Amino acid sequence: MGLELFRIDDRLIHGQVVVGWGQPLDIDFIVLVDDEVAASEWEQELYRMGVPPEMDVHFLSVAEAGDRLREFAADGRPGILLTGDIETMQRLAQATGLVRRVNLGGIHHRAGRTQRMRYIFLSPEEERALRDLAASGVEVVAQDVPSARVASLDEVLGGRGDR
Amino acid sequence: MSSNRPPALVVTHANLADGLVSAVRQITGRAGDFVTISNAGMGADELERVIRETVERTGARVVFTDLPAGSCAICSRRVTRAVEGLVVVTGTNLATLLDFVFDEDPSPESAARRAVERGRASLTVVGASRGS
């Protein structure tokens, strides 16, 4: 129990998270870690309105999440932690040492990024950050939905994740 | 559209929007009431941009979406901040769109609100439960 999934997804809370992962994992809470969302009531309301009422959502900055990560990890209920980018997850992992496995769920096209999988586009800096994350002992994998094959970081960076 | 309202957007996961609108076309013979957008392959920023640009181009004042927690609904709701009078419907089904098409109200919002009630009322369970 506790945090069952640490996911990087630029859409944050959306269908794949709430339904695709939320249903099979029987998720009771989501921890959304994003400095911008944590500072905006409007953004929080936007995300909260789409989530089933029985599901708790915590909106936290990286610093706040770092302080409370052990508490969420020890929660008796299953939960998902989300960040919208690699840097945020990397900061959280470095600050806490409690992130063991990271799921790349959706990093979409943007200027300067190269496509690595159907749903993964990375800039050279982001690729370096993922390698650093892996070198620090965090397992990095890509899997958009539970029924999809898990792709290793080597497969992602080698463009072989969709095979 | 019979009331001369601008077309409405249908923004969904995968090909659901095209499927819903093709069903509307088959049932009513009308094709110009909706503009469809799929979120396939798009991140949040790109999807929001595409919705905003389509709203500006078409003059749409209603966006029909699917899951309340989905990126289609969330990105559409972001666009409402910039476009006055724009409303977003979540949980859209075929009955919702059919009612919207035939509603003569010149107000897109009013037509959308009635269409939502019709769509909600169309969800039923029939059969079984005999001694179960």
Task: Label residues A70-106 b or e (16+ Cβ within 10 Å = b).
Answer: eebbeeeebbbbbbbebebbbbbbeebeebeebbbbb
B83: contact with A, CB 8 A cutoff: no
Please tell me which residue of chain B has the smallest CA distance to A11: B44
Query: Contact A50/B74, CB-based, under 8 Å?
Result: yes
Q: Write the ipTM.
A: 0.80
pLDDT digits (tens, 9 = 90+) for A37-52: 999 999 999 999 889 8
- Tell me which amino acid residue A70 is: R
Residue A28: pLDDT above 90? yes
Closest CA to A84 of A24, A30, A42: A30
Q: How far is A13 from chain B (nearest CA, A)?
A: 7
B61 close to B89: Cβ distance less than 8 angstroms = no
C-beta atoms surrounding B30 within 10 Å: 15
pLDDT digits (tens, 9 = 90+) for B2-36: 567 899 999 999 999 999 999 999 999 987 889 99
Q: How far is B11 from chain A (nearest CA, A)?
A: 13
Query: Which of chain A's residues have a Cβ under 8 Å away from the Cβ of B43?
Result: 10-11, 106-110
Query: Contact A15/B71, CB-based, under 8 Å?
Result: yes
B11 close to B54: Cβ distance less than 8 angstroms = no
